Chain A
Amino acid sequence: MVDIDALLADALAQIDAAADLATLEEVRIATVGRSAPLPLALRDVGTLPPEERGEAGKNLNIARQQLEVRLAEREAELESAALADKLANDRIDVTLPGRAMPHGGLHVLTQTRREIEQIFLDMGYAIAEGPEVETEFNNFTALNIPEDHPAKADSDTLWVSDGVLLRTHTSPVQVRAMQSQEPPVAIICPGRVYRRDTQDATHSPIFHQVEGLLIDEGVTLAHLKGTLDHLTKRLFGADREIRLRSGFFPFTEPSIEVDVSWGDGWMEILGAGMVDPNVLEHVGYDSEKYTGFAFGVGIERVAMLRHGIPDIRMLYDNDVRFLAQFPA
């Protein structure tokens, strides 16, 4: 009878010593292969005296199972080491730029407009739009702007024909909205407007405005102040203050100019006021029952202030290097 313990110890030592998968395969053949000592001994169990057969067979089987488990373990170890070895050599420069996916962006005016829109959408306003080629009536007359007002002159307004012009503000959208619905009205009117201004760093014949209008019972100047305070804090930072100055616009009374705190001083950012009763009566609203406020802010101005853009013309030059600076 073979010495099972010695065989087992020798085989386990060979398995542990196998340094690669090929050697391990040789060891497998040498230890549990058809002609290895252990299987041979198991085959010869039948030749043993009957009283010894049971014990010997059992011991030999246990030994073989031990070997097979150890072989499988060793194989897994060697496979894992081999993979680690291979991966260690399979590396790339992870700091290289990625395979370039195209990436564009929204124009900074769109970003700014949406930001203003969102502030008012959150408060429950709708967004109203209207034509840029407008009637003199909607742009001036309905807004209480007198017949001989200098803003109507050829030097200030771009005219298409008698009574037809390029809107000088988005207020005619408010007029159209009021003509088509009963109060309450809570809208903002973003859009493109036109003035006969020669282009320079701060003027453009075309620019964009967001005007707002709230008409309801019990709307006061305090509500306007609160709304504009909220707007400026969200646009320019929670630490900003606003200052109201008395102003003059034909379509509001009282009219105010609004400054936002800026460094040690103030920066004028928008015009506003309580909707003039004449404007309400023009669209058939009862100016005793309803009051309202309106305001207008230049999108370019807000964008330039927020981003530190020095020249309004950059916004329309659309230099890709400029556009790429404002990814979101």
Chain B
Amino acid sequence: MRLPLSWLRDFVDYTGTPDVLADRLGTSGFEIEGILRPGAPNEGDNHANFVIGRVEDCEKHANAVRLRLCRVDTGGDELRQIVCGASNFAIGDTVVVAVPGAVLPGADAPLKQAKLRGEVSDGMMLSERELGLSDEHDGIIVLPADAGYAVGSRLADHVELDEVVLDISVESNRGDCLSVYGMAREVAVLFDLPLAPMPGIEPVASGGSTADLVTVATDAPERCSRFTARGFTDVTIGPSPFRIRQRLAAAGIRPISNVVDVTNYVMHELGNPLHVYDADRIPGKTLTARLARVGETITTLDDKERTLTGDMLVIADADGPSGIAGVMGGAASEITETTTRVVLEAACFERGSIQRTSKALGLRTDGSNRWEKGVSPHLAPIASIRAAQLLVEWSGAQMLGDPQDVVAALPATQTIALRTQRPAEVLGMQVEGAEIERILSGLGYAPEAAGEIWSCTVPFWRWLDATREIDLVEEIGRVYGLKHVPVELPRIPPGLGGLTRAQQLRRRIEDHLAGVGLHEVSTISLVDPDVRAAYLIDGRDSIALRNPLSADLSELRTSLIPSLLEVVRRNRAVGERDVQIFEIGRTYGPGGEGGLALEQERLGIVLCGHLGGDGWTGEGLPGDFSTLAGVVDGLLARLGIAATRRAERDTAQLHPGRSAALMLGDARLGVLGELHPGLAAALELDGPVAVAELDLAALVAAVPELTAFAGLSSFPPVRQDIAVIVADDIDAAALITAARAAGGELLQAVEVFDVFADPERVGAGRVSIALRLVFQADDRTLTEDEATAAREQIVSALVASCGAELRG
């Protein structure tokens, strides 16, 4: 919404600076996008350099075919010689002249006397573009001769030469402020200034009747609640007054012709979109608001043929749609240069209807934008009168009598009871009763005090957004000023707050992993199905979006790993070799509560390259299975979880010999392993890449609530080492489990301290595993013999249950 301040001042005498106005509006519910100054500044009395002139003489330039040598009366003693390239004027025409010294709109330097092909040009005759009025530059401005533009008078006496325009973003609930008058009402109440009444003086009607030109009706009262029409004859199509053209241009509206400009001017001034028809191009002399018939077509004012659906409201004549109601008129009844009789439509269309139509057609106009915010049906007759007044003034029209006003329904007037104490209870600040009354009156609520309440009547222009007491409280707060609201901290009842156990543990997990050298990452949870498929996950459990932004963000992820591998690839691409990362994020699958997704929080880890090292002391730990297992084991130890790993050989993404499930009893916490070398190659990731994905909820659930003290033996432990050779499909976990079972109470710990597979020393398909056994008693110092007896029991068990052979 562009608000030229000269227009605003038609209704409220605001004399402060534009900056103060912008600031106050900006904190009172309006966003100020900018302050525009489209005209010429008046610094150094610059406006004295723009004057009205009359062309007294005009001849061809001797040395240039396209130039003319003019002598122009600008009110001085002598005529001024001006060289001009335009050809749209004649001797005797009234023109706009900038004399040397003038700073034109947007110019950096003042205009100088110039010599053009040998002839002095003592100034310039201006085009609309040079005045910042429009893009028109084919000819200069020629003003009507008998319209009071005195030769030698300042241009600034006739138009707002240094117009200031506020570019305002109006919230969607304040359609009433998409108008100069609506904004004037706000400015008046914000600055405590008087507001002029709504504009519009109904012209005296001539003899005929509007019905001579048209009869209007609505067949869709729920979509078109009001349809008014006025007829006009003796219209002379031409440009609008210069001042109006300047004002429309400042408001961002392109001036077209006097009749069309009237509709745009009144829409901008009062907020009710209007339409005009060439009365001689309305077949059947009827205009009816009705739903379009499926497949009906219309050529709109922008010369595009549009096919309509049964959900679109049209204004139809006897031959079919004449215009798309509230969106755009039709070419067939368009005002042309030869139009002499006009029908003015001021109607009220339902917001949803216009919104759907506008969207379906991909056609948004200044009009549709206002309808979508909701326009009161009370406004149409007011706008009609104002437009009639201007049509008569600007085009010399005669208004016919018997204006038509088809009213389907008018909303009932609402009253709201505002309790006197409620504003303070919500806003936390005390506003004087008199000030509350002033604010509500200024906004049109006509408050009447009645005991402990004010009875307020909702003005018609606020029928949609002001319906409740709280809405009035809001008005009082914003107009009185939110800067007056005190700063207070609430007293929050104790016992509500704090982190849950799961939240605490999640933080502990994050801190631990960062502490052992991993960088936490944050990846996008929408993924590319191709990336997912490249990681060999089928789309069976993927939730696809109905309206994705793009194919690469079209479904929700079912695993963190593809996203983390993409991070590795991107880092590799910028030369980073060592990438050790983790993320706690969600995956999404079917089967959640209430038909929603099953959202699981997971911990994903990817190691690639070396962890630590990479300096003069060495290379750090390789990003392989063992390092990853160490990271996971360390995390589990930190959390007090006693999980085990079970070899898995059939995970398509992972190396069949280097992947494992993480188990807590029979429950699966997740999976870890090296990326399958074939897949790694396909993803262009060389070297081992180790990945893990764990279920965070299961992990958190596995953390013991409270750990009981296990006692500390004051007697020394006895360590005994054994080395056994087993078939290479017997894993260490099996040996440890068997040893623990056989070791009895004295066995405190079993640790693997050496593993090797050397066919020459231990035989093909066999592996040597060395175990350190730690024995200890709580009540005595163990003898070597006791420990040895226990060890031999363990060895026997390993031989029996694992086919182990004791190494010498």
Which residues of A are interface residues toward B (Cβ below 8 A)? Answer: 96-107, 109-110, 114, 120-121, 123-127, 131-135, 148, 150, 153-154, 158-161, 164, 166, 184-186, 192, 194, 196-198, 205-206, 214, 216, 218-223, 225-227, 229-230, 243-248, 253-256, 274, 276-277, 291, 315-321, 323-324
- Are B516 and A102 in contact, with the CB atoms below 8 A? yes
* Residues in A neighbouring B17, C-beta threshold 8 A: none
Q: B549 at interface (Cβ–Cβ under 8 A)?
A: yes
Measured in the bound complex, the distance between the Cα atoms of B621 and A99 in whole Å is: 12
5 tightest Cβ-Cβ pairs between the two chains A and B: A102-B517, A222-B428, A220-B428, A102-B612, A246-B478
Q: B783 at interface (Cβ–Cβ under 8 A)?
A: no
Measured in the bound complex, the distance between the Cα atoms of B496 and A186 in whole Å is: 7
- Are A184 and B488 in contact, with the CB atoms below 8 A? no
Measured in the bound complex, the distance between the Cα atoms of B525 and A106 in whole Å is: 18
B27 closest partner in A (C-beta):
A245
- Are B525 and A206 in contact, with the CB atoms below 8 A? yes
- Are A166 and B493 in contact, with the CB atoms below 8 A? no
* Residues in B neighbouring A126, C-beta threshold 8 A: 496-500
- Are A227 and B489 in contact, with the CB atoms below 8 A? yes
Q: B173 at interface (Cβ–Cβ under 8 A)?
A: yes
- Are A159 and B599 in contact, with the CB atoms below 8 A? no
Q: B287 at interface (Cβ–Cβ under 8 A)?
A: no
B514 closest partner in A (C-beta):
A104
Selected A-B contacts with CB under 8 Å, 16 pairs: A97-B616, A103-B612, A105-B514, A107-B521, A114-B507, A124-B493, A126-B500, A131-B599, A158-B526, A159-B546, A223-B490, A226-B487, A226-B488, A246-B477, A248-B173, A253-B474
- Are B596 and A221 in contact, with the CB atoms below 8 A? no
* Residues in A neighbouring B426, C-beta threshold 8 A: 220-221, 254, 274, 291
Measured in the bound complex, the distance between the Cα atoms of B429 and A224 in whole Å is: 12
- Are A158 and B549 in contact, with the CB atoms below 8 A? yes
A133 closest partner in B (C-beta):
B597
Given contacts A131-B596, A225-B487, contact A166 B519 (CB under 8 A): no
* Residues in A neighbouring B511, C-beta threshold 8 A: 106
* Residues in A neighbouring B485, C-beta threshold 8 A: 221-222, 225, 244
Measured in the bound complex, the distance between the Cα atoms of B162 and A216 in whole Å is: 53
Contact of A277 among B468, B515, B618, B620 (CB under 8 A): B468
Given contacts A221-B427, A248-B174, contact A317 B547 (CB under 8 A): no
- Are B586 and A247 in contact, with the CB atoms below 8 A? no
State the Cβ distance, A277 to closest chain B Cβ, in Å.
6
- Are B596 and A254 in contact, with the CB atoms below 8 A? no
* Residues in A neighbouring B487, C-beta threshold 8 A: 222, 225-226, 229
- Are B27 and A133 in contact, with the CB atoms below 8 A? no
- Are A245 and B26 in contact, with the CB atoms below 8 A? yes
Q: B510 at interface (Cβ–Cβ under 8 A)?
A: yes
- Most chain B C-beta atoms within 10 Å of own C-beta, residue among A184, A223, A227, A277: A223
Given contacts A125-B497, A133-B588, A223-B428, contact A154 B547 (CB under 8 A): yes
* Residues in B neighbouring A216, C-beta threshold 8 A: 490, 492-493
Measured in the bound complex, the distance between the Cα atoms of B474 and A226 in whole Å is: 18
* Residues in B neighbouring A134, C-beta threshold 8 A: 596
Q: B355 at interface (Cβ–Cβ under 8 A)?
A: yes
Which residues of B are interface residues toward A (Cβ below 8 A)? Answer: 26-29, 171-174, 351-352, 355, 359, 425-429, 468, 470-471, 473-474, 477-478, 482-483, 485-490, 492-494, 496-500, 503, 507, 510-511, 513-526, 543-549, 553, 556, 567, 570-571, 574, 576, 578-581, 586, 588, 592, 594-597, 599, 611-618, 620-621
- Are A159 and B597 in contact, with the CB atoms below 8 A? no
- Are B29 and A133 in contact, with the CB atoms below 8 A? no
- Give how many A-B residue pairs fall within 8 Å (CB-CB): 260
- Are A254 and B576 in contact, with the CB atoms below 8 A? no
B575 closest partner in A (C-beta):
A321
* Residues in B neighbouring A194, C-beta threshold 8 A: 526
- Are B497 and A123 in contact, with the CB atoms below 8 A? yes
* Residues in A neighbouring B621, C-beta threshold 8 A: 102
B30 closest partner in A (C-beta):
A246
Measured in the bound complex, the distance between the Cα atoms of B522 and A315 in whole Å is: 7
- Are B545 and A158 in contact, with the CB atoms below 8 A? yes
Measured in the bound complex, the distance between the Cα atoms of B588 and A126 in whole Å is: 25
- Are A186 and B492 in contact, with the CB atoms below 8 A? yes
Measured in the bound complex, the distance between the Cα atoms of B543 and A218 in whole Å is: 44
Given contacts A110-B520, A124-B497, contact A254 B474 (CB under 8 A): yes
State the Cβ distance, A179 to closest chain B Cβ, in Å.
12
Given contacts A132-B588, A205-B553, contact A225 B493 (CB under 8 A): no
State the Cβ distance, A232 to closest chain B Cβ, in Å.
11
* Residues in B neighbouring A107, C-beta threshold 8 A: 519-522
* Residues in B neighbouring A135, C-beta threshold 8 A: 594, 596
- Are A124 and B492 in contact, with the CB atoms below 8 A? yes
B595 closest partner in A (C-beta):
A164
- Are B543 and A160 in contact, with the CB atoms below 8 A? yes
* Residues in B neighbouring A324, C-beta threshold 8 A: 519
- Are A206 and B524 in contact, with the CB atoms below 8 A? yes
- Are B614 and A221 in contact, with the CB atoms below 8 A? no
State the Cβ distance, A130 to closest chain B Cβ, in Å.
9
- Most chain B C-beta atoms within 10 Å of own C-beta, residue among A214, A248, A321: A248
- Most chain A C-beta atoms within 10 Å of own C-beta, residue among B27, B355, B580, B613: B27
A159 closest partner in B (C-beta):
B546
Contact of A220 among B427, B497, B517, B526 (CB under 8 A): B427
* Residues in B neighbouring A159, C-beta threshold 8 A: 545-547
Contact of A104 among B27, B515, B526, B556 (CB under 8 A): B515
A318 closest partner in B (C-beta):
B521
- Are B592 and A133 in contact, with the CB atoms below 8 A? yes
* Residues in B neighbouring A97, C-beta threshold 8 A: 615-617
Measured in the bound complex, the distance between the Cα atoms of B29 and A256 in whole Å is: 8
- Are B28 and A222 in contact, with the CB atoms below 8 A? no
B28 closest partner in A (C-beta):
A246
